[in-house]
């Protein structure tokens, strides 16, 4: 599976890097994120392409195996509220999708094993 490089704004890159240092995510996810951050393309805030999953964007994704679709907004942890589809950028799925674009597929280790997700649509809020 081809690995795409992440597209991140400067502030999102900093956010992820700081989180990585103090996070307790699985070794698989930590190594994956470290490698992705090394290879990331960094944009200034106003040059980030509009189909990139970033803070304050809304993503519609599908679990490739089950076909189940989910839509949620990525927010800071203090704004997270799953009842209204607001997911923390530091939640496993938030970190997994960060910096990817519409059409990309990603593998990420979830509590029930490694899952593949496809990004169907991204909207900047």
In a domain, 38, yes or no: yes
Report which of 104, 28, 30, 90 is spatially closest to residue 61, judged by C-alpha positions. Answer: 104
Banded pLDDT at 1 (limits 50, 70, 90): very low
Say which CATH number the domain at 83 has.
3.10.50.30
In a domain, 110, yes or no: yes
Task: Report, as an integer, the average pLDDT of 100-109.
Answer: 92
**The pLDDT value given to residue 3:** 56
In a domain, 1, yes or no: no
CA end-to-end span of the chain: 30
Banded pLDDT at 26 (limits 50, 70, 90): confident
What's the Cα-to-Cα distance from 52 to each of 43, 66, 77, 78, 99, rounded to whole Å? 11, 24, 20, 22, 6
**The pLDDT value given to residue 96:** 87
pTM of the full predicted structure?
A: 0.86
Q: Where are the beta strands (DSSP E) in 1-125?
A: 7-9, 41-43, 57-63, 69-75, 86-88, 105-110, 113-124
Looking at every residue in the chain, the average pLDDT score rounds to: 91
Domain of 83 in residue numbering reads as: 7-124
In a domain, 32, yes or no: yes
In a domain, 20, yes or no: yes
Q: Rounded to an integer, what distance in angstroms lies between the CA atom of residue 95 and that of residue 72? A: 13
28-84 pLDDT tens trace: 888 988 999 999 999 999 999 999 999 999 999 999 999 999 999 999 999 999 899
How many domains does the chain fold into? Answer: 1
């Amino acid at each position: 599976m081809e690995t795409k490089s992440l597209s991140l704004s400067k502030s999102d890159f900093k956010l992820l890097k700081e989180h990585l240092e103090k996070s307790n995510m699985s070794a698989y996810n930590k190594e994956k994120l470290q490698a992705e951050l090394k290879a990331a393309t960094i944009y200034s805030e106003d040059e980030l392409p509009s189909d990139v999953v970033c803070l304050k964007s809304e993503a519609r994704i599908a679990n490739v195996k089950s076909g189940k679709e989910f839509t949620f907004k990525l927010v800071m942890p203090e704004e997270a509220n799953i009842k209204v589809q607001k997911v923390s950028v530091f939640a496993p799925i938030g970190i997994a999708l960060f910096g990817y674009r519409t059409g990309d597929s990603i593998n990420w280790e979830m509590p029930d094993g490694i899952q593949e997700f496809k990004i169907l649509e991204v909207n900047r809020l």
